[in-house]
Amino acid sequence: MTIRFEGQVAIVTGAGGGLGREHALALAARGAKVVVNDLGGARDGSGGSATAAEAVVAEIEAAGGEAIANAASVTDFAAVQAMVDQAVAKWGRVDILVNNAGVLRDKSFAKMELDDFRFVVDVHLMGAVNCTKAVWEIMRQQNYGRIVMTTSSSGLYGNFGQANYGAAKMALVGFMQTLAIEGGKNDIRVNSLAPTAHTRMTEDLGAALPLEALEPSLVTPGLLYLVSRDAPTRAILAAGAGGFERAYVTLTQGVHITGADAPEQVAAQFEAISNRDAEIVPEMGAAQGMIELTKAQQAHGA
């Protein structure tokens, strides 16, 4: 199976450098027409310029591809809508959205200003919400769409100094879970990519990571699969240094506990509650309630 994108239009946010640039170049090389979006700001979100996006467009065009540059901030819904309108006016459709734009304002939670927390959540989470909302009806009308959220191990598992970033990145997984359910009937498949790569977002981790092995281009093959016609949906794909793994949000079978000493029983049986032998990946949130009701019925002999 060869993954190609002829006749498809892709929007990649944060595509002026790093992972987004690699995603945009690879999509264009495989036939997609690409909107290269990048605010062109600093790593903390300050400033802005279209230069970075225009440089990537020049690379795509030099290789024989089609692309347009866009410097909209993903936090500005009107600007995002104008970007999507521009793509539709030029090429007639939008098939792929890669929510990749991001910023960092790292500090321990004790030292973090609430404005820095809000801003990081606004860019990562609400930026993805804005872009997804702007393409959602188009994809529904087409009965086709592929959307990727860029999550992170910092959200899935935590990382010191990144409470704001981690909260936003895990929120994107929850966003994906519901969109994949709602988009299913219109063949809109929604996935999450958790990359490990050497970009300006990770440059401060140089002492801890073998940066020469963490080229952003090694993550992009996973992205290409997640936006392909045969893509899965609701997958969390981790990628870095040529390694690919899947992360899951799972649910154990647990234990039924009631009575006046229920808190003490939860403490006493926490190991049994945590037993993963028969854990599941729920199809939707209601699975938790069904498991709990089933245990209650069994406990009462129903």
Catalytic (active-site) positions: 165
Give the distance from CA 41 to its chain's centroid: 20
Strand-pair category, 243-247 with 236-240? antiparallel
Instruction: Supply the DSSP string of 225-277, one letter for each residue.
Output: HHTSTT--SS-EEEEETTEEEEE---B-------STTHHHHHHHTHHHHT--T
* C-alpha distances out from residue 134 to 84, 91, 120, Å: 7, 16, 20
> Where do we find the tokens 């899965």?
232
The partner residues of 244 in beta bridges, in order of sequence, read: 239
Three-state secondary structure of 137-195:
HHHHHHCCEEEEEECCHHHHCCCCCEHHHHHHHHHHHHHHHHHHHHHHHHCEEEEEEEE
Eight-state DSSP code of residue 88 = H
Eight-state DSSP code of residue 211 = G
| Number of Cβ within a 10 Å radius of residue 186 | 15
| Inter-axis angle of helices 77-91 and 127-142, nearest 10 | 30
Eight-state DSSP code of residue 204 = G
Going by C-beta distance under 8 Å and a sequence separation of 6 or more, which residues neighbour residue 234? 176, 177, 180, 181, 190, 191
Nearest-angstrom CA–CA distance, 193 and 173: 10
For residue 161, give both structure tokens: 């100094």
